[in-house]
Amino acid sequence: MSIRELRLIGDPVLRTACERVTVFDESLARLVDDLLETVQLPGRAGLAAPQIGVGLAVFSYNVAGRLGYVINPHIVELTGTYIGPEGCLSLPGATAETPRAAFAVVDGVDINEQPIRVDGEGEFARCLQHETDHLTGLLYIDRLGRADRAAVLRQVQSR
């Protein structure tokens, strides 16, 4: 296991849709371990594989005592509305009020190819949506209006 370096906005891997995981081997196990270790650093809630330079559909989460990962995730349910500050490790130092669903359910598989379902509300729902977006090449700023998006980019550039 190792803590991996983060990729920042401007890196093309963040804007590229990930490949579904089809090979469940030791290399994937190492990736999952690295995602879990890296997401446990202070101030981190979620981490998608592209954020450490890997174009595979995997993310980890660490929210309110819930630590885990999902391979080949897809959102199966979104309900309600939740608006609050959202940031991203790949856009350091910037946040914006971002609308998300208040409750989210994600299906995927674990390292043994067994089906898993993760659900959550509030900040955990935000995390599930945010990390799933990363796997399609979306960043949270893509959900903002022009002015808010420009403000976030200015925040990032000023750091």
User: Considering the domain boundaries, does residue 5 fall inside one?
Assistant: no
| Residue of 5, 37, 97, 131 with catalytic role | 131
Query: pLDDT digits over 81-137, tens only?
Result: 999 999 999 999 899 999 999 999 999 999 999 999 999 999 999 999 999 999 999
Q: Are 69 and 38 in contact (CB under 8 A)?
A: no
- The average pLDDT across 137-157 equals 92
User: Considering the domain boundaries, does residue 117 fall inside one?
Assistant: yes
Check whether 1 has a pLDDT greater than 70.
no
Check whether 146 has a pLDDT greater than 90.
yes
CATH number of the domain where residue 149 is located: 3.90.45.10
Q: Per the structure block, which two tokens stand in for 91?
A: 């856009």
Containing domain of residue 50, as a range? 12-157
User: Considering the domain boundaries, does residue 1 fall inside one?
Assistant: no
Query: pLDDT digits over 28-80, tens only?
Result: 999 999 999 999 999 999 999 999 999 999 999 999 999 999 999 999 999 99
Buried b (16+ CB within 10 A) or exposed e, 31-52: bbebbbebbeeeeebbbbbbbb
- What is the rounded distance in angstroms from the CA atom of residue 119 to the CA atom of residue 7? 27
This prediction has a pTM of 0.95
User: Considering the domain boundaries, does residue 138 fall inside one?
Assistant: yes
Total structural domains in the chain? 1
* 113 flagged as catalytic: no
- What is the rounded distance in angstroms from the CA atom of residue 110 to the CA atom of residue 113? 5
Q: Are 108 and 72 in contact (CB under 8 A)?
A: yes
- What is the rounded distance in angstroms from the CA atom of residue 1 to the CA atom of residue 48? 16
User: Considering the domain boundaries, does residue 6 fall inside one?
Assistant: no
Check whether 142 has a pLDDT greater than 80.
yes
Q: Per the structure block, which two tokens stand in for 75?
A: 């959102």
User: Considering the domain boundaries, does residue 120 fall inside one?
Assistant: yes
- What is the rounded distance in angstroms from the CA atom of residue 27 to the CA atom of residue 23? 9
User: Considering the domain boundaries, does residue 17 fall inside one?
Assistant: yes
Number of Cα atoms under 13 Å in the Cβ half of residue 159: 13
Q: Are 81 and 35 in contact (CB under 8 A)?
A: no
